[in-house]
Copies of this chain bind each other. A is one copy, B any other.
Amino acid sequence: MDILHRVGAKASPETVYTALTTLDGLADWWTEDVKGSADEGGVVAFRFAQGGFDMKVLETRPAEAVVWEVVDGPEEWIGTHIRFDLKQEDGFTIVLFRHEGWREEVEFMSHCSTKWATFLMSLKRLAETGTGEPAPRDVQVSNWH
Contacts and interface: CB of A to CB of B under 8 A. Distances in A.
Interface stretch (A12-20, A33-41, A74-82, A110-118): A110-118
A113 B110 contact: no
Interface in A127-145: 139, 141-144
* Identical copies of this chain, number: 2
A7 B140 CA distance: 9
Given A7-B141, A92-B143, 18 more contacts: A1-B1, A4-B105, A5-B113, A5-B114, A5-B117, A6-B107, A6-B114, A7-B114, A89-B143, A94-B142, A96-B110, A113-B113, A114-B117, A114-B121, A117-B118, A118-B121, A121-B139, A124-B141
18 contacts: A3-B4, A4-B113, A5-B113, A5-B117, A6-B113, A6-B141, A6-B142, A6-B144, A7-B141, A8-B143, A8-B144, A91-B143, A92-B142, A113-B113, A117-B117, A117-B118, A118-B121, A121-B139
